[in-house]
Amino acid sequence: MCLFTMNKKITILGAGISGLTTAYLLQKKGFDVTVIEKNNQPGGAMESVHEQGFLFDRGPNSLLETVPLIGQLVTELGLESEMIYANEEGNKRYILRNNQLHALPTSLKGFLQTKLFSVAAKFRLLKEPFVGRSNDGYYQSIADFVKRRLGQEFLDYAINPFVAGVYAGRPEKLSVASAFPKLYALEEKYGGLMIGAFKSAKERKKRAEVSKQSAKMLSFRNGMQTLPLALAKYLGNHVLTDSEIISVEKSSDDKFIVTYMTDGKKYTLVSDAVLSTIPPYGINKLLSKFDASIDAVFSKIEYPPVLVCYLVYPKEVIGQPLDGFGFLIPEKEKKSFLGAVWSSVIFTNRSDTQHAAFTLFVGGMRNPEIIKEDREKLFARVQEEFESIMKISGKPVFKTTRFWAKAIPQYNLGYVETEKYFDTFEANNPGIFLSGNYRGGVSVGDCIKNAEPTAEKIEKYFDDLMMQ
Ligand SMILES: Cc1cc2nc3c(=O)[nH]c(=O)nc-3n(C[C@H](O)[C@H](O)[C@H](O)COP(=O)(O)OP(=O)(O)OC[C@H]3O[C@@H](n4cnc5c(N)ncnc54)[C@H](O)[C@@H]3O)c2cc1C
């Protein structure tokens, strides 16, 4: 702990996983942090609710243990007995093709035998090491990139559903360099995906990082919100909930004044730096006095809606063997939803032993029009399609939904420029920092991972000030 940091105050806007993890790291470094959150509880997208004996994660269902910081947080927050790893079955993932679920192959033998890809598509993959780089550089969509390297069918039946599962996005719109930087780097650095995957595995080992493909999947007995709740508990009265930030100003003595509303009353907080982790569509107006172009840049970041549907059935009415993570649906299959997570297969305590719980995702960039649809009719259609795929012959014992009007930021083509803008904004406005799932990855693991460099950047800012 540096003596100089001890009296420095930092206001953190938003108590999602990005804000709370960074607050935790900064507090450990000796900074005096205050996190301000408009909702009545911390967690942001991480919402877990118990209803009628079932546990429904309304946002993320699991998290991949990609960096040591995740395990460190679990230990330091005393969550070892709360944390649960996914069951072995969680490694098996299905893709829908011609109304049949096909397991995604995980071995060469499985790949050769699968009916998910045609023989022609399998042969096409063999060409990958000989495909050259694109002249478009970073300005390529993930669809262009994958079609060129792996062929159309692999794009349609592997990448299209995968992109829907991670971003609720469409491969034609997402930038490969921003949304899948590691994939893009394999081509840039090593000239191809197969050779790159082999060589980069060695480098990752040196950094003690685990690839998303081999990272262990985890959650908590009482759902994903356990982690933000534990972080907030650790931070104690340094987290203010039910408090909506309405303005951020800079005073003549270079302090930041954050004004927020609690119970209809205005309060202000004065600090030496501000870290915003609230989504771009909320922060654009608050920071426009610092840079007039922020609104134009931030309002271009697309956030499609997602309807999360939760269904619980008695096990005996389900014809499909329950032995996997769930399934994803390629756009070509023309269904009303993106896929389903078999929640109680992955984490057994999501239901009792007689029932199976499922979480379905609807909408995203594939169908942003759901925002205008009658939600009950939409849910009924999704349920009917799901029951047909899963060979379900009875009624659910419980069902509920959570609608996210703006679910996940899309790192669309051209996002590399948007990312450069974040750096420029911070350089032009010393003392204001930007983070959140629109920068450096959308997964919970990415948000946790990014908290470390963000905290270090803030610490360096104060170290540099001291040197001046
Ligand atoms: C439906 C869904 C499913 C997902 N599934 C997965 C998954 O399975 N695995 C995975 O790894 N990731 C998943 N994600 C992504 C992941 O959950 C999010 O990207 C991540 O939790 C975002 O964290 P964050 O802190 O950056 O942002 P947020 O969680 O959005 O936090 C921002 C906070 O800022 C607050 N705020 C906004 N405006 C103000 C204001 N004016 N004043 C005060 N506070 C304000 C908000 O209330 C919010 O709490 C999913 C996301 C969604 C929506």
pLDDT tens for 190-221 read 888 888 887 877 776 666 666 767 789 999 99
271 band by pLDDT with thresholds 50, 70 and 90: very high
Cα of 178 from ligand 1 centre, angstroms: 19
Tokens found for residue 358: 């499922």
Tokens found for residue 326: 């769930």
352 and 313 inside one domain: yes
37 and 156 inside one domain: no
**Which CATH number do you get for residue 190?**
1.10.3110.10
Percent of the chain with pLDDT over 70: 97
Tokens found for residue 308: 């999360």
Show the domain range for 187: 117-206
Q: Quote the pLDDT of residue 2.
A: 57
Domain boundary among 206, 238, 264: 206
Hey, whose CA ends up nearest to atom 27 of ligand 1? 16
Mutate to test the pocket of ligand 1, among 49, 283, 286, 408 (most ligand atoms within 8 A of CB): 408
Mutate to test the pocket of ligand 1, among 22, 36, 38 (most ligand atoms within 8 A of CB): 38
Q: Quote the pLDDT of residue 123.
A: 93
Q: Quote the pLDDT of residue 3.
A: 54
Strands (E), 238-279: 239-240, 243-250, 256-262, 265-271, 273-276
Cα of 36 from ligand 1 centre, angstroms: 14
The residue with greater pLDDT, 125 or 331, is: 331
Chain center to CA of 38? 20
Closest listed residue to residue 353, CA positions, set 316, 399, 407, 304: 316
313 and 358 inside one domain: yes
Cα of 279 from ligand 1 centre, angstroms: 8
CA separation for the pair 118, 116 (Å, rounded): 7
Cα of 456 from ligand 1 centre, angstroms: 22
pLDDT mean over 274-280:
97
Domain boundary among 173, 206, 239: 206
Cα of 385 from ligand 1 centre, angstroms: 29
- Quick: pLDDT tens for 8-30: 999 999 999 999 999 999 999 99
Ligand 1 site, residue 60, Cβ cutoff 6 A:
yes
3 state DSSP class of 171: coil
For the chain, the average pLDDT equals 94
Hey, whose CA ends up nearest to atom 20 of ligand 1? 444
Q: Quote the pLDDT of residue 203.
A: 72
Closest listed residue to residue 371, CA positions, set 296, 302, 280, 300: 302
CA separation for the pair 404, 379 (Å, rounded): 14
Closest atom of ligand 1 to 308 CA is 1
Hey, whose CA ends up nearest to atom 35 of ligand 1? 14
Cα of 37 from ligand 1 centre, angstroms: 12
Closest atom of ligand 1 to 436 CA is 26
385 and 336 inside one domain: yes
Closest listed residue to residue 446, CA positions, set 201, 161, 212: 212
Closest listed residue to residue 200, CA positions, set 183, 217, 215: 183
Q: Is 399 a domain residue? A: yes
Q: Is 126 a domain residue? A: yes
Q: Quote the pLDDT of residue 201.
A: 74
30 and 102 inside one domain: no
Ligand 1 site, residue 407, Cβ cutoff 6 A:
yes
126 and 70 inside one domain: no
Q: Is 211 a domain residue? A: no
pLDDT mean over 284-313:
95
pLDDT mean over 296-317:
97
290 and 423 inside one domain: yes
Ligand 1 site, residue 314, Cβ cutoff 6 A:
no
- Quick: pLDDT tens for 145-177: 999 999 999 999 999 999 999 999 999 999 999
Hey, whose CA ends up nearest to atom 53 of ligand 1? 407
Ligand 1 site, residue 104, Cβ cutoff 6 A:
no
3 state DSSP class of 192: coil
Ligand 1 site, residue 16, Cβ cutoff 6 A:
yes
Ligand 1 site, residue 287, Cβ cutoff 6 A:
no
3 state DSSP class of 24: helix
Ligand 1 site, residue 364, Cβ cutoff 6 A:
no
Domain boundary among 178, 206, 234: 206
CB distance 42 to 243 below 8 Å: no
CA separation for the pair 135, 143 (Å, rounded): 15
Overall number of domains in the chain: 3
Q: Is 16 a domain residue? A: yes
**Which CATH number do you get for residue 271?**
3.50.50.60
pLDDT mean over 294-300:
94
Ligand 1 site, residue 410, Cβ cutoff 6 A:
no
Q: Is 130 a domain residue? A: yes
121 band by pLDDT with thresholds 50, 70 and 90: very high
CA separation for the pair 438, 312 (Å, rounded): 33
Q: Is 433 a domain residue? A: yes
381 and 434 inside one domain: no
Cα of 228 from ligand 1 centre, angstroms: 11
Ligand 1 site, residue 441, Cβ cutoff 6 A:
no
- Quick: pLDDT tens for 420-464: 999 999 999 999 999 999 999 999 999 999 999 999 999 999 999
400 and 375 inside one domain: yes
CA separation for the pair 450, 436 (Å, rounded): 8
The C-alpha angle with vertex 96 and arms to 93 and 99, in degrees rounded to 5, equals 140
Q: Quote the pLDDT of residue 257.
A: 98
Q: Quote the pLDDT of residue 315.
A: 97
| Least confident stretch, 3-17, 68-82, 292-306, 407-421 | 3-17
23 and 154 inside one domain: no
237 band by pLDDT with thresholds 50, 70 and 90: very high
The residue with greater pLDDT, 136 or 272, is: 272
40 has pLDDT over 60: yes
Q: Quote the pLDDT of residue 136.
A: 81
CA separation for the pair 70, 372 (Å, rounded): 38
CB distance 404 to 305 below 8 Å: yes
CA separation for the pair 70, 446 (Å, rounded): 10
With 0-12 / 13-18 / 19 or more C-beta atoms within 10 angstroms meaning exposed / middle / buried, residue 114 is middle
Cα of 324 from ligand 1 centre, angstroms: 26
- Residue 407 has a CB neighbour count (10 Å cut-off) of 22
3 state DSSP class of 234: helix
Q: Is 315 a domain residue? A: yes
431 and 287 inside one domain: yes
**Which CATH number do you get for residue 379?**
3.90.660.20
Q: Quote the pLDDT of residue 355.
A: 96
434 and 296 inside one domain: yes
Ligand 1 site, residue 173, Cβ cutoff 6 A:
no
Q: Is 259 a domain residue? A: yes
Q: Residue by residue, what is the 3-state secondary structure of 115-150?
A: CCCCHHHHHHHCCHHHCCCCCCCCCCEHHHHHHHHH
Hey, whose CA ends up nearest to atom 41 of ligand 1? 245
Residues in contact with 365: Cβ distance below 8 Å, sequence separation at least 6, in sequence order: 167, 168, 169, 170, 173, 302, 304, 410
